[in-house]
Amino acid sequence: MMISVNLRPGLKRKRAGSPLGDALAGLRAFGAKVKDPVLLVAVVGWAGVGGGLGFIWLSNVAQLRALKPQLEQTRAEHKRFKTFLEEKHKQEQIRDSLVAQISTIKSVDGDRYVWPHVLDEVTRALPAYTWLVDLSPAVTPPPPPPPPSQTKDKKQQPVDTMPSVVAFQLNGRTVDIQAYTRYLRNLEASPWVSGVTPVSAQTVVEHDRAITAFTIRAEFKQADSAYIRTVPLSQSVR
């Protein structure tokens, strides 16, 4: 049990009030002093606006703190993709440089090995008792130029300098007419030869012997990649 002693008997002891009660009493006293209701409404409105702005500011601060980890992650992803794009750009520059070098090489010696390849194909197709007398290029008319409208509308495409089709004419001899027809079939079966056309075949006498002299016209073209066999230019010898 607590005993309280009043050291000032002439004064009444005030009761301890709660903070909420003091605030309400202060509001009542302020309301009693303020006689203009418009001023009171303005003060209450400004207080509401201040409270709303404070709440919005606190909400934005909380959202900013929550978005900071996402911002750091986005910056890291941006840096990684930027490095990837720079590396890709370097690789594309290297590719374009290689393509330009290959085009230059093709323009220099694109048709250097065409005629050796033609000789290889026509001699491989020769049957027995058949031989060639000569092989010469055949004159072909140039292709017609494209219409002006197509040349203006279409973009200029890179032109492959290696000739895709080379026409040639060969003259040969055989002692068997069936070997001549077999030679035509062998040339047609080659993936590198097309347009095989017999021009003439007649019997002639050479060295007191009747033989068949023939002339064939054909075209050498670039075969499909499945028929191309590559070998290294140099091999190490052990």
Q: Which of 10-14, 170-174, 187-191, 210-214 has the lowest mean pLDDT?
A: 10-14
Higher-confidence position of 220 and 143 = 220
For 192-215, what is the mean pLDDT?
Answer: 90
pLDDT at position 154, please?
A: 46
The Cα–Cα gap between 116 and 122 comes to: 10
pLDDT at position 157, please?
A: 47
pLDDT at position 102, please?
A: 83
Q: Which of 41-55, 70-84, 145-159 has the lowest mean pLDDT?
A: 145-159
**Which tens digit of pLDDT belongs to each residue from 133-190?**
999 888 765 556 666 655 444 444 444 445 567 899 999 999 988 999 999 999 999 8
For 25-53, what is the mean pLDDT?
Answer: 70
Q: Coil, helix or strand for 50?
A: helix
Question: Predicted confidence band at 90 (pLDDT cuts at 50, 70, 90)?
Answer: very high
Q: In what order do the strands lie in the sheet with 210-221?
A: 130-137, 165-174, 210-221, 193-205
pLDDT at position 7, please?
A: 60
Q: How far is CA 143 from the centre of its chain?
A: 33
Indicate the CATH number of 114-140+164-223 among 3.40.50.12780, 3.30.70.60, 3.30.70.2390, 1.10.3720.10.
Answer: 3.30.70.60
Question: ∠ CA 192-198-200 to the nearest 5 degrees?
Answer: 145
pLDDT at position 161, please?
A: 47
Q: 220 near 193, Cβ under 8 Å?
A: yes
Q: Is the pLDDT of residue 221 over 80?
A: yes
pLDDT at position 52, please?
A: 83
Query: Domain map of the chain by residue range?
Result: 32-109, 114-140+164-223
What does the block give as tokens for 124? 């491989």
The Cα–Cα gap between 213 and 196 comes to: 17
